[in-house]
C-alpha cells in the first residue's frame, strides 16, 4: 500500500543505491546483544547523510515549480544546509542559507570548518541571523526579498521536515524492512536521532505497515520528550494524510536525557559514545545527532530499558560536522 502511494509523488533519484545494514560485531560483543547499523551516513551526495532522502522529493517539487533558488536555514554546521546546497549546485540552482550560531561559540573550527567550509565550496549565499526563533516566517521573508530581486525562490524547510520531505523516510523504512526480511531478522527496536522529526515520522509510518511489532525509538537531540512528542506526532499525522492513510494509533516513542546542554552542543556522554564507536568499529558519529542518539542506545541497554533482541541503529550522518568540533574532543 505504501509503495503504491509513494509512486504518486515525483522525486529526483539522488540516492541511487541502497545503503547497507551492517552488523557491529565488536560493539555487539561488548554489550552482550546484537547491534546493526543502517548506514545513511554513506548516501551518495556531499559526504553522506539522511537529508538527501528528503531532498529527492522537495527539490523535485522546486524544479516542477520553476524555481531558480533554494532557500533554507539551519545552524552554521547544519548537515541539512550542506546537502541542500549540494543538490542546488548539482541541479544548476542558486542556494541562499540563513545560518545561526546556536551555541554562541567563537571557535574557528566551528565558524569556518566542517559543513561551513563546504557551503563556500558549493557557492552558497550565506545570510547570518542572530537566531532562528521563527524559521518559517524568516524563510518566507527571505523568499520575498529574493522575489523582489526578480528571482524564483523555493523554501526548503529546516531539516527538510515537512510531510513531502518525510516521504523520503517512508521510502527508507520500506528499504530497511526489505533488508530485515532478507536477513530473516526482527529487531527489538530501531533507534534514531529525533530532531526536526521527519526521519522518525517517516520510519514510524513505514514500520507501522511492514514491521508493526518493531518500535521506532527516537532519541531527542534538542528537546524534552514533552516538547518533541507533539512535533513528531503532528508531522506523522500530516504525512499519513498526504499518503491517504490512517495515522497509527500508537504515540511516537521517544527518550530524552541525552540532548543537553542544548542543540548543537555535545555533552560528556555524547563524546564518550563517539570515541567508543570509533575505537570499536571505526565508525564516525557526529556530536549533534548520532553521538547523542548512540549515547541513548548505550545507556538504555545498560539500564535494560529496551526490549530483548537485536537492535538497529540508524546512522543519519553528520561526518563533516565532526571536524568542526575539534575543541570539544581536545579540551
Whether 17 contacts 44, CB under 8 Å: yes
C-alpha dihedral over 169, 154, 98, 271, to 10 degrees?
A: 10
Angle (CA) 8-59-53 rounded to 5° is 75
- Does residue 194 carry a catalytic annotation? no
| Element holding 255 (H helix, E strand) | strand 253-255
278 CB-near residues (< 8 Å, 6+ apart): 284, 285
Whether 234 contacts 228, CB under 8 Å: no
Q: Is 68 helix (H, G, I), strand (E, B) or coil?
A: coil
In this structure, what DSSP letter does residue 16 have? -
In this structure, what DSSP letter does residue 148 have? H
* The C-alpha cell that represents 100 in the structure block: 545561526
Counting every residue written for the chain, the total comes to 331
Strand order, beta sheet including 21-23: 21-23, 35-39, 311-315, 189-194, 216-220, 253-255
**What is d(CA 113, CA 198) in angstroms, rounded to the nearest whole number?**
27
Instruction: Give me Rg for the CA atoms of the chain.
Output: 19
Of 28, 78, 161, 222, the catalytic one is 78
125 beta partners: 96
CA distances from residue 312 to 162, 180, 189, 309 in whole angstroms, order as listed: 25, 10, 6, 10
Q: List active site positions.
A: 78
Amino acid at each position: 500500500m505504501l509503495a503504491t502511494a509513494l509512486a504518486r509523488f515525483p522525486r529526483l533519484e539522488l540516492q541511487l543505491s541502497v545503503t547497507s545494514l551492517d552488523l557491529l560485531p565488536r560493539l555487539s560483543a561488548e554489550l552482550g546483544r546484537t547491534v546493526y547499523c543502517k548506514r545513511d551516513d554513506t548516501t551518495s551526495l556531499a559526504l553522506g547523510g539522511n537529508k538527501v532522502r528528503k531532498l529527492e522529493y522537495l527539490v523535485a517539487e522546486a524544479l516542477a515549480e520553476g524555481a531558480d533558488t533554494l532557500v533554507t536555514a539551519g545552524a552554521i554546521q547544519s548537515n541539512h544546509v550542506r546537502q541542500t546546497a549540494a543538490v542546488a549546485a548539482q541541479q544548476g540552482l542558486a542556494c541562499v542559507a540563513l545560518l545561526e550560531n546556536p551555541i554562541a561559540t567563537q571557535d574557528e573550527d566551528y565558524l569556518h570548518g566542517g559543513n561551513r567550509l563546504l557551503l563556500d565550496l558549493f557557492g552558497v549565499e550565506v545570510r547570518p541571523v542572530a537566531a532562528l526563533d521563527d524559521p518559517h516566517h524568516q524563510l518566507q521573508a527571505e523568499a520575498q526579498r529574493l522575489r523582489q530581486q526578480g528571482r524564483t525562490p523555493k523554501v526548503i524547510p529546516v531539516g527538510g521536515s515537512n510531510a513531502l520531505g518525510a516521504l523520503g523516510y517512508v521510502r527508507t523504512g520500506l528499504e530497511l524492512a526489505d533488508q530485515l526480511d532478507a536477513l530473516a531478522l526482527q529487531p527489538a527496536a530501531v533507534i534514531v536521532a529525533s530532531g526536526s522529526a521527519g526521519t522518525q515520522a517517516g520510519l514510524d509510518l513505514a514500520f507501522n505497515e511492514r514491521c508493526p511489532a518493531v518500535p521506532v525509538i527516537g532519541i531527542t537531540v534538542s528537546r524534552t520528550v514533552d516538547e518533541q512528542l507533539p512535533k513528531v506526532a503532528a508531522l506523522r499525522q500530516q504525512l499519513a494524510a498526504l499518503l491517504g492513510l490512517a495515522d497509527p494509533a500508537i504515540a511516537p516513542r521517544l527518550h530524552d536525557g541525552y540532548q543537553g546542554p542544548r542543540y548543537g552542543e555535545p555533552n560528556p556522554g555524547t563524546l564518550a559514545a563517539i570515541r567508543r564507536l570509533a575505537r570499536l568499529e571505526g565508525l564516525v558519529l557526529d556530536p549533534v545527532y548520532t553521538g547523542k542518539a548512540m549515547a541513548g542506545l548505550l545507556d538504555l541497554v545498560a539500564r535494560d530499558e529496551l526490549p530483548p533482541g537485536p537492535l538497529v541503529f540508524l546512522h543519519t550522518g553528520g561526518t563533516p560536522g565532526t571536524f568542526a568540533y575539534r575543541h570539544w574532543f581536545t579540551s
